[in-house]
Chains A and B, each alone.
Chain A
Amino acid sequence: MRLSLSGEHTGDEYTLEDAIGKGSGDGGLPRGKLLNDFVEAVCAGDAARTATVRQEIIKGMGEAAMVDAAAVIAAFNCYPRVADATGIPLEEAKAAATEAMRTELGLDELDSRFFGRGERI
């Protein structure tokens, strides 16, 4: 499944299966594999691997791109924690708009909050 807010306008899409770890890894994006490696290294707390990938990003995309990629990883270490700890659900309109995508990717099996306030593992 290819999906992107921006892709609807520019054709610059990415593969959502890759983004949730079910695909081959590059998302079909320029430097997607490199960015995926950066996410994995940072989120795993692997300082050595992070340093290696960081240098590859700087070399291939520039220092500013590395900083902005790091900033997005940091941001998404924040949003989920706030959503998870407060039980904030997906808005009904967003849930309806993404129903087919969630079914295809099996997301509802992973997060019962899409259906309400059910208890998870």
Chain B
Amino acid sequence: MIDTSPLTVRDDLKSALTQAWSEVARTGDWLSGEQRLAIANEARNAWQCKLCQRRKEALSPYAIKGDHDHLGALPNAWVEAVHRIVTDSGRITESWYASTIAAGITEDEFIELLSLVTIVTGADTFMGAVGLPPLMLPATGEQGAPPRRRPGGAKMGPGWTPTVAPEDAGPELGDFYETGPAAYIRRALTLVPGEANRFWPLLNQLYLGNPLRVELEGVERAISRAQMEFIATRTSAYLDCFY
């Protein structure tokens, strides 16, 4: 759809969106194509969930009990993870994360789920903002079993999930740390190298490959660096995130 739209979209952004979307229902590092497709569909469905709406309005989401409105393709713990990340990520706690893992999602599966949910939400946000219909998901996911191998060098931190620090990075991460800053946020998905390498190429085009750059020389954007920062800060504040 983005390829055939009359809207003028930068080629690098169009290419990154197309590539990211083509991976959504493919076999992942820890999840099958069918699981990934189910997660993507559930991420879109989360916005209609009445329990999530009640929690969003509550002083604390943890005080509101009930059942999610879901599509029936994922276990309950997975639905809770998808819905919370989509609708109320700003109030996620370490206890919530621990309970999610205790409910049967492995740390590696959680990272892949998080990346996938975020890619779908980001792509949908972009398409809605520019006035295009959401990108279509396929009817079925790719067949095949994921390798389910954790990279060497993974250690707990700097948040509450394990990551691979630049000094511990092995061949699984390829040139990941050579192609961008080694900020904590960029480490966040490195427990699942394939996912880190799916997520960041899209984000690099939506925003900047190196957010530490102070000017836009050599980077094609139609708004100023200050305007980008203002939008970024305003959007983060809207999500209750001050990272």
Q: Do A and B come from the same complex? A: yes
Using a CB–CB cutoff of 8 Å, the interface residues on chain A facing chain B are 4-10, 12-14, 16, 18-21, 27, 29-32, 35-36, 38-40, 42-43, 45, 47, 50-51, 54, 61-91, 102, 107, 110-111, 113-114, 117, 119-121
Report the separation of the CA atoms of residues A66 and B10 in the bound assembly, to the nearest whole angstrom. Answer: 12
Interface-central residue, B60, B91, B199, B214, by most chain A CB under 10 Å = B214
Report the separation of the CA atoms of residues A87 and B163 in the bound assembly, to the nearest whole angstrom. Answer: 12
Chain A, residue nearest B117 (CB) = A81
Interface-forming stretch among B30-38, B72-80, B122-130? B122-130
**Given A19-B233, A31-B227, A69-B231; A120-B93 close (CB under 8 Å):** yes
Q: How many B residues, CB 8 Å from partner?
A: 75
Report the separation of the CA atoms of residues A115 and B103 in the bound assembly, to the nearest whole angstrom. Answer: 28
- Tell me whether A117 and B94 are in contact (CB under 8 A): yes
Interface-forming stretch among B21-29, B140-148, B165-173, B234-242? B234-242
Write out the residue numbers on chain B whose beta carbons fall within 8 Å of the beta carbon of A5.
212, 214, 225, 229
**Does B149 interact with chain A (Cβ within 8 Å)?**
no
Give 8 nearest A-B pairs by CB, closest first.
A80-B241, A87-B159, A70-B129, A19-B233, A64-B222, A76-B235, A6-B225, A74-B126
**Given A67-B8, A119-B95, A121-B91; A16-B233 close (CB under 8 Å):** yes
- Tell me whether A29 and B227 are in contact (CB under 8 A): yes
Using a CB–CB cutoff of 8 Å, the interface residues on chain B facing chain A are 7-10, 13, 47, 59-60, 85-86, 89-95, 97, 111, 114-115, 117-119, 121-123, 125-126, 128-131, 158-161, 163, 183-185, 187-189, 199, 203, 205-207, 212, 214-215, 221-243
User: Does more than half of chain B's interface fall in helix, strand or loop, or is it mixed?
Assistant: helix
Shortest beta-carbon distance from B68 to chain A in Å = 17
- Tell me whether B229 and A78 are in contact (CB under 8 A): no
Report the separation of the CA atoms of residues A79 and B227 in the bound assembly, to the nearest whole angstrom. Answer: 18
Report the separation of the CA atoms of residues A13 and B93 in the bound assembly, to the nearest whole angstrom. Answer: 34
**Given A13-B226, A88-B159; A81-B130 close (CB under 8 Å):** no
Write out the residue numbers on chain A whose beta carbons fall within 8 Å of the beta carbon of B129.
38, 42, 50, 54, 69-70, 73-74
Chain A, residue nearest B100 (CB) = A85
Write out the residue numbers on chain B whose beta carbons fall within 8 Å of the beta carbon of A4.
225-226, 229
Chain A, residue nearest B239 (CB) = A80
Task: Beyond A67-B7, A68-B221, list 12 extra A-B contacts (CB 8 Å).
Answer: A9-B214, A20-B237, A63-B7, A64-B222, A67-B9, A72-B223, A77-B118, A81-B117, A82-B118, A84-B89, A84-B90, A88-B184
Report the separation of the CA atoms of residues A109 and B211 in the bound assembly, to the nearest whole angstrom. Answer: 26
- Tell me whether B226 and A54 are in contact (CB under 8 A): no
- Tell me whether A32 and B230 are in contact (CB under 8 A): yes
- Tell me whether B60 and A121 are in contact (CB under 8 A): yes
Chain A, residue nearest B241 (CB) = A80
- Tell me whether A35 and B95 are in contact (CB under 8 A): no
- Tell me whether A82 and B188 are in contact (CB under 8 A): yes
Write out the residue numbers on chain A whose beta carbons fall within 8 Å of the beta carbon of B185.
79, 82-83, 88
Shortest beta-carbon distance from A36 to chain B in Å = 6
Chain B, residue nearest A81 (CB) = B89
Our pick among A54, A75, A79, A82 for the contact of B114 (Cβ within 8 Å) is A82
